[in-house]
Amino acid sequence: MKILLVPLITLLSLQSFALVKISGRVVESGGDAIPGVNVFLADTYDGASTNANGYFEFETQERGKRILTARFVGYKEFVQEIEIQNENFEFTIKLIETINELQAVTITAGAFTASDVARRTVFRALDIATTAGATADIAGALNTLPGTQKVGESGRLFVRGGDGNETRTFIDGLVVLDAYKPSAPNTPSRGRFLPFMFKGTSFSTGGYSAEFGQALSSALVLDSKDKGELTRTDFGILSVGGDVGHTQVWEHGSVGGKIQYTNLRPYVGLINQEVDWEDAPVSLEVGAAFRQEVGTHGLFKFYGNFNHSNFSLYQHSIDDYDQKTRYDLTNKYHYLNGFYKTSLNTNWSAQGGISFTSIDEKTFLGDNLIGELQKGLHIKTVVQGSLTDHVELKSGVEIISRTYDQKFSDDAAPNLYSFDEIVSAGFVEADLYTSNRFVVRAGVRLEHVNLTRRFSIDPRLSLAYKLGVDGQISIAYGKFRQSAKDEFIKVDPLLDAEKASHYIINYQYVKGKRTFRVETYYKSYSDLVKYPDDDHITLTNEGTGAAKGLELFWRDNGSINRLDYWISYSYLDTKRNYLDFPYEVTPTFASKHNASIVAKYFVRKIKSQLGVTYSFTSGRPYNDPNTKTFNQLRTPYYADLSFNWSYLPTTSVIVYFSCTNVLGRDNIFGYEYSRVPSADGSFNGRPIRQPAPRFLFLGIFITLSKDKSVNQLPSL
């Protein structure tokens, strides 16, 4: 017994006290040492950090099978099972870089991403609110970026020789049928959606993902905020109305709502207007958002927007000012969007959404009523995740259905234009990273349109290569299509989609708080809708066109303390032969040179943020029927200097003042001509001007919350 016992005790004590040395070196795939790596036996105290040369060494009493782990920020965790007996171990551990959003190369061709979360963005959500001249309108702020052309009488986003209709807005991946509020003819419209609702904005001027279809020139992708952060109540007293909003936050969800009433009548009464208003625009808007986290991985979002607006004005005849027609418009808009996102496991996630839009617009032209009713339904499911560390896959299916009905009251027979279009589509797209320096994104999009019974396949391809720590180059190519405008499909539902091909090269340099970008592109159009002069019934897809250009962007918010500014310039050369054009010519909305300078400066002494924006647009083409040429004349250049001032007397109150076109320049957007010649055979014409030289806005915003240091600056 004695004999048995002694070795047993010896063994036990040996196990407790003999030490085994584990040592080695940690390197990255290139062979360079990584200092600071945590190398240890899982679930024990035993381990060490690597020194400046990547070496580590530690001792352990553990025996048997153990897990050796090496862990460091930015690298994939290394794990290996080892069997510890009495011999020492020596290892060389190779850590593989994780492809992470911070260091990895990103595709920047055509894309401007604004996000509160990502760090390397050139444009931020807050920028939208604080850009002078934009009056907190998303399109207005994006109009200071390269790739856009200022079309003052429209207010919409015109991108790279495309018209405003070619830019489509998506909320949480779901298309928005009409992203702009109604406006009187030749007056700028505003976006329906307030910037503060979104955590991220991605504005692409070409070459975008296969996920987005039915957009010919540009995709504006808005990601709505997740759960609200703070319980708060907001009041706004505006020179043109008022609003009240409340957000209630609980542990796993939030609900928020906002009601805004705007009435331009008193303002229009005070400041002389180009437009002969009978009743200036009045609008009531209600927005509501509900967020609920489901379990640990799911998130449900609901968003609804209801808007009712009305105005009436007198349109004066070009030939005889005293001859006028009353124009009265009422627009009722409903938008509902439900979205659910869940992670399937650590690598894969799924999301699905459904959106419903209804637009009911009634326009009286004199006594004639035109009624337009549009309904849209969009259903979409997307699955995305990582196949391996270096391959990310995204795939989805969607159905975009819309119905359109138009009625005229003056026809004897109920003349009814209508169509029901169903676009069914599927897409798949893969991001292949060979390292943190190089990525290829290849995608393909399939579409079927019920009206034409046509299938289509559109390829998309982009790649990006990081030249060094700060610079990178991207290239993008893609085919894009979009159904013809409602006004054409209602006449000829068999019209094929309009098509475009984009070719883009981009160089971006980001160092600290300075960004420089240069981008050049070529875009060709085909199958544009065309009709013979004055014949709006015989429609074909024979239109063609092309656009090419060069764009520059510089942003710096690091050189001068508290000063943030950016400069953008776009050169555009575009021609198309579509609609009733007799030959290939530059359309009226396209201008050759566009430039913007935006500056924001915080002055502590007066507790204010001051902002200035200067925009310049070279003359736009217009067509004078008195000449033999088409679209050959040019308007004077457009220039605007806008100013805004946010004053924060206390932390929960903001006084906001803005003024557009401070210098009062009489900008002319184009000329319109009478359809019939006057007695001497010439056509009378008149310029299209700004509704008023300046737009002044004053608002006081008050926020009530438990925490007094919150105000509405982020949402302004």
Partner 1 sequence: MKTRTIILIASVLLIYTSNALGNDNQYAEAMAKNIQTVYRSESIGELQSAVNALERIASAEKTKWEPYYYAAFGNIMIAHREQDGTKKDAFLDQAIANIGNAKKIAPKESEIIALEGFVHIIRITVNPETRGQQYSGLAMQTLGRALSLNPENPRALALIAQTQYGTAQFLGSPTTEACATNASALEKFATFKSENPLAPKWGNRMAEEIASSCK
Under the rule (CB under 8 A), what is the footprint of partner 1?
Answer: 1-2, 5, 8-9, 12-13, 16, 35-38, 40, 42-49, 52, 71, 73-74, 102-103, 116, 119-120, 124, 126, 229-230, 513, 557, 562, 564, 602, 604-605, 607, 648, 650-651, 706-711, 713-714
CB of 12 to partner 1, least distance (A): 6
Length of the chain: 716
Nearer to partner 1, 47 or 191 (CB): 47
For partner 1, give the closer residue by CB, 81 or 680.
Answer: 81
**Smallest separation, CB 556 to partner 1 (Å):** 13
**In terms of Cα–Cα distance, which of 125, 133, 192 is closest to 617?**
133
CB of 43 to partner 1, least distance (A): 6
Shorter beta-carbon distance to partner 1: residue 453 or 706: 706
To partner 1, the closest distance from the beta carbon of 13 in angstroms equals: 7
Nearer to partner 1, 632 or 650 (CB): 650
Separation CA 474–CA 439 (nearest Å): 9
The residue type of 118 is A
d(CA 513, CA 485): 42
- The percent helix, strand, coil of the chain (3-state, each to 5) is 5, 55, 35
| 250, β-bridge pairs | 253
* Site of tokens 């005849």: 317
Reduced to 3 states (helix: H, G, I; strand: E, B; else coil), residue 46 is coil
- Tell me how far, at minimum, the Cβ of 84 lies from partner 1, in Å: 16
50's CB contacts (< 8 A; 6+ apart) are 25, 26, 33, 34, 35, 36, 37, 39, 56
Print burial letters for 389-415: b (CB count within 10 Å at least 16), e (below 16): eeebbbbbebebebebbbbeeeeeeee
Nearer to partner 1, 90 or 707 (CB): 707
Q: Name the residue nearer to partner 1 (CB basis): 363 or 651.
A: 651
- CB closer to partner 1 out of 70 and 264: 70
Distance CA 131, CA 559 (A): 19
660 has which bridge partners?
Answer: none
CB 547 → partner 1: shortest distance, Å? 34
CB of 553 to partner 1, least distance (A): 18
Q: How far is the CB of 17 from partner 1 (least distance, A)?
A: 10
| Rounded distance between C-alpha atoms, residue 177 and residue 188, angstroms | 18
* Least Å from the CB of residue 232 to partner 1: 9
Nearer to partner 1, 417 or 601 (CB): 601
- Report d(CA 83, CA 60) in Å as an integer: 12
3-state secondary structure of 13: helix
Q: Which is nearer to partner 1, 297 or 686 (CB)?
A: 297
CA neighbours within 13 Å on the CB side: how many for 699?
27
Between CA 358 and CA 378 the distance in angstroms is: 12
How far is the C-alpha of 228 from the C-alpha of 299, rounded, in Å? 12
Report the residue number, 675 or 708, with the smaller CB distance to partner 1.
Answer: 708
Provide, rounded to whole angstroms, the least separation between the CB of residue 551 and partner 1. 24
Nearer to partner 1, 36 or 625 (CB): 36
Q: How far is the CB of 83 from partner 1 (least distance, A)?
A: 20
Q: Would you state the structure tokens that stand for residue 87, as one six-digit string?
A: 């011999």
| DSSP assignment of 133-191 | TSTT-HHHHHTTSTTEE--TTT-S-EETT--GGGEEEEETTEE-S--B----TTS---B
Instruction: Determine contact, residues 69/48, Cβ cutoff 8 Å.
Output: no
The single-letter code of the amino acid at 309 is: S
State the nearest-atom distance from the C-beta of 40 to partner 1, in Å.
5
